Structure 1
Amino acid sequence: MPLQIPHPNTPLHLYRHMLREATYLPLLCRPWIASRIQARFRDCRDEDNSNYYVKEAHQKLRYLRSANTGHVNRMRRLCYLATGRVGKRRRLLARAELSSLPASSSAELDIKAKLASEKQREFDWMDNWSIEKVQAIAFSQSAQQSTNWPHIMRKGVDPLRTLPTENSFGRPISEKLIRNKLKKHWAAIFKQLLPPLPRGEWDQLAAMASGEADPQHYEIPARRPVARPVRQSPSASSEARTPSWEDFVTRPVRSLERGSSRSMKSLTSDEDEDPRGHGRPTGIRVLSQRKLRRGIYDNIWRASPLMDKNPRSGKWQVTWGGQERQPIQRPRKKDLQFFQGIGKTGVPIQSEIVT
């Protein structure tokens, strides 16, 4: 059933409601979501157009309530935000893991400036990134990606194959135009790139996906009882949501009943006027340990790479979660009876003799 919780009216009340909803999230995404709520309210506290941010916060509160109700896709999206697969932490991880190392001495800085002057160009944003790392993880993501990942890498990753070498007149392209096309190419790659995770976080996520982590990672905090207003009657909130005859005259019926539909019921918490109702909300599941491990944590681990440098070749190696599969175990003696009369090719032995 949808959560029958009074919606906050003031910004401070809204802030407290969002922090309260963050406490019901799994341990994987709880700290990051709570910190983002605090940071966003502090950044927008002195803004002139506060109504826009208050409206956005109301939408995010409905999103949090729907995820805590058991909406798997929205809960997975929150975990994507916390692990850096989407959102702000994705950009922070890319800057920390894929940026080029700064010059360790003034001599090395002079060498970089000399190389740039020989190529007759100035420093740009591409000089701050390790293109070798970006290219390695982009090639690996294009070959390893699945359809349920938050970002899908395009096929044309290699700039040598996608960028032209001649113009329409058959003449070679200038160095400045090549550099600008490279910027556009790598900017499109960055929009689809999934940055690598640190070793400790990647190992912790692997343990959570395999079910070997601490039990606290699979527990959903119990929801505390909802406070009832003292002066407001229980039917006042339901009467405020009841449409009037003017709404039925000026608005389409589908827009009036949209909030009580199965797809929107977990967001709006609206009930149907028909006592039979439209049924349970879509996408709602019981977030058990099995559902968290196989439906959320395993998907996040598969979309999380780990980068290591080969000490011999010096090239970057990318390892994705779930790549290393355990070998298929041999059947036990009591299970061999199901394979009696079957050859190694999977065909019955008698039919092999006849043919």
Structure 2
Amino acid sequence: MSRPLRIPRPQTPLHLYRHLLREASYLPPLARLFVDNQIRDRFEKDRKDDEEEGTKHIRKARHELRVLRAANCGDLTRMRRVLLRAFGRVGRRRRELMTDLLHREVPTNTEELEQYAAAASALAALDRPLDWLDNWDVEKLRTFARSQVQAGLINPPKAPITVNQTSPDKLIPSENAWGRPLAAKPARTKLRNLWKSVADKCMPPLPKEEWETLGEIAEGKMQEQWLPPHRRPVARGMSGDVQGARTWDWQSYAIKPVAVVDRPANRRNKLLSGTVDDNTPTGDPQPIDCHKYTARSWRRLLGNVWRLSPIMEQKPDGRGGWNIAWGKVDFQAAQATPASFEFFGDFPDAGEPKIGGKGRT
């Protein structure tokens, strides 16, 4: 899309709900499932609120509608944010995936059951009350955090994890500010805060099937059924205009600064507001940073999300441990077209590179 949509603003909560579902239908099918479920869950959860809370939720839903509409119209920054939320890199789904990551695995054999019972007995013998950190699988989180450090993520939505942060036990000082031994309670508080900081920076693993599908799209191995559908034309009235005749709101110009009144029609805000600029003599100008989506651009967007997503499986040898794989798109140089071969035909073959010595290249 090259211009903002000229769709009437929804007036009722049900109308707003339908607009949100309609905008979500133009997302890639792999990302649409989570967005649809989130819209339905929030609508069912908030429909019984009082008037004050309902007004706040409607205001927030209208903002989300503008964000979805701008993303579908060609705003790459907002579309990337929508995809990060849909695949659990940020937001609500990330918290759900992190809950699965931190949950202790159920023992499946006698040896694991004995280890679980020994760990539970050790916790019960401690001279302190149990807290939420005791319910976390700390070793599993440590293994995953170290894997994320080695993966070297590019442009993650969270701050990167350092190697020292994967061992919070070593970061707790042995003495306080007065040179005395650190008490058990503040030491435990520091340990909880350090582990919480590590968990807040993790990119949790995706389900294997979803991760593999995302990888096939990023590597170009899947057919184009994963592409979002084309937008249907907007219904028009008998006059030929979607929103009817627009009148000049001279009262706003009389009591407000011109910059404030014209701000929604600014080229930087047109995709988000959907406002039409009728004051420019050459016609409604094009919005800034408006991208036309193609199959290649979709693969790049989903490939960036795939590089931030891992899968995590237990090793089949029964000795414990985890196999963690991160998305990685191999670089493939583009082939020269037949019309460009004439520029490379006279160059000699480079041959095998020399190793060692002064002639190394």
TM-score (norm 2): 0.82
Hey, what's the Cα distance between the residues in 1 that align with 2:257 and 2:312? 54
Q: Secondary structure at the match of 1:28?
A: helix
- Checking the alignment, whether the CA contact within 8 Å between 2:169 and 2:191 is kept in structure 1 is no
Residue of structure 1 equivalent to 2:168: 159
Change in CA separation of 1:256 and 1:345 when aligned onto 2, cut-off 3 Å: farther
Residue of structure 2 equivalent to 1:289: 295
Residue of structure 2 equivalent to 1:238: 246
Output the amino acid matched with 1:315.
Answer: G
Hey, what's the Cα distance between the residues in 2 that align with 1:300 and 1:36? 19
Q: What do residues 76-107 of structure 1 show as CA deviations (whole Å, max 9, x unaligned)?
A: 22221221111111111111233112567998
Change in CA separation of 1:338 and 1:119 when aligned onto 2, cut-off 3 Å: farther
- Asked if 1:124 corresponds to 2:115, the answer is no
Change in CA separation of 1:7 and 1:109 when aligned onto 2, cut-off 3 Å: same
Change in CA separation of 1:276 and 1:192 when aligned onto 2, cut-off 3 Å: farther
Identical amino acids, percent of aligned pairs? 34
Residue of structure 2 equivalent to 1:150: 157
- Checking the alignment, whether the CA contact within 8 Å between 1:261 and 1:278 is kept in structure 2 is no
Structure 2 residue runs of 5 or longer lacking an equivalent are none
TM-score (norm 1): 0.84
Hey, what's the Cα distance between the residues in 1 that align with 2:303 and 2:69? 23
- Checking the alignment, whether the CA contact within 8 Å between 2:20 and 2:39 is kept in structure 1 is yes
Cα RMSD for the two superposed structures:
3.2
- Asked if 1:73 corresponds to 2:77, the answer is yes
- Asked if 1:96 corresponds to 2:100, the answer is yes
- Checking the alignment, whether the CA contact within 8 Å between 1:2 and 1:266 is kept in structure 2 is yes
- Asked if 1:271 corresponds to 2:306, the answer is no
Change in CA separation of 1:269 and 1:208 when aligned onto 2, cut-off 3 Å: same
What is the 5 A alignment of 1:101-250?
101-102=105-106, 111-155=118-162, 156-157=164-165, 158-218=167-227, 220-229=228-237, 236=244, 238-239=246-247, 242-245=248-251, 247-250=252-255
What is the 5 A alignment of 1:44-63?
44-48=46-50, 49-63=53-67
- Asked if 1:40 corresponds to 2:42, the answer is yes
Q: How many residues align?
A: 339
Residue of structure 2 equivalent to 1:318: 324
- Checking the alignment, whether the CA contact within 8 Å between 1:307 and 1:317 is kept in structure 2 is yes
Hey, what's the Cα distance between the residues in 2 that align with 1:17 and 1:253? 31
Instruction: Tell me by how many angstroms 1:13 deviates.
Output: 0.9
What is the 5 A alignment of 1:246-265?
247-265=252-270
Q: Secondary structure at the match of 2:347?
A: helix
Q: Secondary structure at the match of 1:344?
A: coil
Hey, what's the Cα distance between the residues in 1 that align with 2:276 and 2:333? 50
Hey, what's the Cα distance between the residues in 2 that align with 1:234 and 1:210? 41
Residue of structure 2 equivalent to 1:305: 310
Change in CA separation of 1:267 and 1:336 when aligned onto 2, cut-off 3 Å: same
Pick aligned residue for 2:21 from 19, 22, 40: 19
Structure 1 residue runs of 5 or longer lacking an equivalent are none
Instruction: Tell me by how many angstroms 1:31 deviates.
Output: 1.4
Instruction: Tell me by how many angstroms 1:226 deviates.
Output: 1.7
Pick aligned residue for 2:8 from 6, 9, 12: 6
Change in CA separation of 1:53 and 1:286 when aligned onto 2, cut-off 3 Å: same
Change in CA separation of 1:163 and 1:337 when aligned onto 2, cut-off 3 Å: farther
Q: What do residues 10-63 of structure 1 show as CA deviations (whole Å, max 9, x unaligned)?
A: 111111111111111111211111111111111000111211111111111111
Hey, what's the Cα distance between the residues in 2 that align with 1:278 and 1:165? 66
Hey, what's the Cα distance between the residues in 2 that align with 1:9 and 1:18? 13
